[in-house]
């Protein structure tokens, strides 16, 4: 049994206990090994495996430094999520009748995986001791901080019919789905409000700051919204030059790098953007950044459009800079390759034939 880490949770029967592992997707791509990519082992019922990722997403969405937690596991999960990655979970063992059984199995799994990681010279697991609230794992405010698990654990001889006692399947499908699962964006309703979809690239590009121009540089069609637009020189200002690296799935862009790529330079008509600025009920509310991946160009980052901020305009090329607000880490389109039907063609990627790599999606 395996699942992709999403906010919807993992479906497990009743209150049965299980032992799970969180997989580091970047390490998996490097090693090709499921076991060598385990970053955390835990136990729980129902959607316990998803709780870690959700807590980290909350921390990021609130732009807080951290929840009251410590340990490399939390730092690594936060970095992965902030870099646009999804964290797959895999069930190592299930069918345990109570927490005592699960605790013993968790301890065994940690011992085996820790020794394997050490033998290959890899970093240890994020949790140093088993049990929720462990010293090197996650400690949530309001929960008791316990070292270890239940006292005097005892294995139960009771079996659960139809429930496997051990299951470790390949997470390759889960990782593949997180970067190239194709969905029809309309029927799946993964874009629920007007959004700009833009495309990143794997190629490096020159970048830097752009000096502001006089208001007179704006076209007459923007005269009544000039207070909400900053005209800018298309030339990169001297001394601000740098090379913006291309997207690398094994070293994803940080949120700052992704914003640098996503915010500019997009070819919307001046009259169109004017309508957005005159009426807050018009135009895009979100911006999605898709990057090339195995099987398709996939949405990896999402932000709110900061409609209260000033828009940048580059008169020399007629393109716009879109101000971005908070990151939308739980946006339903993240991790998906968006497709649509066009006349006789089925499942066409939505940016196909959009040579500027930009499109306004209106659900």
Comparing 200 with 15, the larger pLDDT belongs to 200
**pLDDT average, residue stretch 116-131:** 70
Q: Could you tell me where the beta strands, DSSP code E, fall in the chain?
A: 2-3, 17-23, 38-45, 89-96, 181-184, 195-199, 205-207, 210-212, 229-236, 242-244, 264-266, 286-293, 296-305, 311-314, 319-321, 324-327, 336-342, 345-349, 358-361
pLDDT at 172: 44
**Would you say residue 109 has pLDDT above 70?**
yes
Task: Give the whole-angstrom CA distance, residue 135 versus residue 178.
Answer: 30
Task: Give pLDDT tens digits for 93-108.
Answer: 877 878 888 888 888 8
**Would you say residue 138 has pLDDT above 50?**
no
pLDDT at 158: 39
pLDDT at 3: 36
Task: Give pLDDT tens digits for 323-333.
Answer: 999 999 889 99
pLDDT at 157: 34
Q: What angle do CA 42, 44, 46 make, to 5 degrees?
A: 130
pLDDT at 340: 95
Token look-up 């955390």 returns 40
Q: How confident is the model at residue 33 (pLDDT cuts 50, 70, 90)?
A: confident
Domain limits of the chain? 2-170, 182-361
Residue 343: Cβ-neighbour burial (10 angstroms; 0-12, 13-18, 19+): exposed
Candidate from 30-44, 138-152, 295-309 with smallest mean pLDDT: 138-152
User: Which residues are 321's β-sheet partners?
Assistant: 264, 312
Dihedral of CA 216/219/223/226: which sign? negative
Phi-psi region of 169 (alpha: psi -120 to 50; beta: other; left: phi over 0): beta
């Amino acid at each position: 049994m395996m699942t992709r880490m999403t906010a919807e949770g993992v479906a497990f029967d009743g209150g049965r206990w299980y032992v799970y592992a969180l997989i580091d997707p970047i390490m998996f791509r490097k090693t090709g090994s499921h076991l060598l990519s385990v970053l955390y082992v835990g136990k729980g019922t129902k959607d316990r495996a998803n709780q870690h990722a959700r807590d980290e997403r909350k921390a990021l969405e609130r732009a807080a430094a951290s929840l009251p937690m410590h340990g490399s596991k939390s730092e690594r999960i936060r970095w992965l999520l902030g870099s646009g990655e999804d964290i797959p979970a895999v069930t190592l063992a299930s069918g345990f009748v109570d927490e005592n059984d699960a605790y013993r199995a968790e301890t065994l799994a940690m011992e085996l995986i820790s020794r394997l990681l050490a033998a290959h010279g890899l970093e240890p697991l994020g949790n140093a001791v088993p049990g929720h609230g462990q010293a090197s794992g996650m400690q949530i405010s309001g929960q008791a901080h316990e070292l270890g698990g239940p006292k005097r654990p005892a294995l139960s001889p009771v079996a659960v019919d139809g429930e496997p006692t051990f299951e470790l399947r390949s997470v390759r499908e889960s990782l593949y789905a997180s970067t190239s699962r194709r969905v029809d964006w309309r029927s799946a309703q993964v874009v629920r409000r007007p959004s700009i979809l833009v495309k990143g690239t794997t190629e490096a590009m020159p970048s830097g700051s752009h000096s502001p121009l006089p208001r007179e540089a704006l076209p007459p069609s923007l005269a009544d919204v000039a207070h909400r637009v900053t005209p800018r020189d298309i030339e990169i200002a001297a001394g601000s030059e740098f090379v913006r690296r291309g997207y690398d799935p094994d070293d994803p862009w940080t949120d700052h790098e992704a914003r640098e790529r996503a915010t500019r330079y997009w070819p919307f008509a001046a009259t169109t953007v004017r309508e957005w600025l005159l009426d807050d009920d018009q135009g895009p509310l979100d911006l999605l950044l898709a990057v090339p991946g195995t099987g398709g160009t996939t949405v990896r980052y999402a932000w709110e459009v900061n409609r209260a901020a000033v828009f940048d305009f580059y008169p020399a090329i007629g393109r716009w800079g879109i101000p971005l607000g908070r990151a939308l880490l739980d946006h339903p389109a993240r991790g998906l390759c968006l497709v649509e039907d066009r006349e006789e063609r089925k499942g066409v990627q939505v940016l196909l034939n959009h040579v500027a790599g930009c499109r306004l999606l209106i659900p």
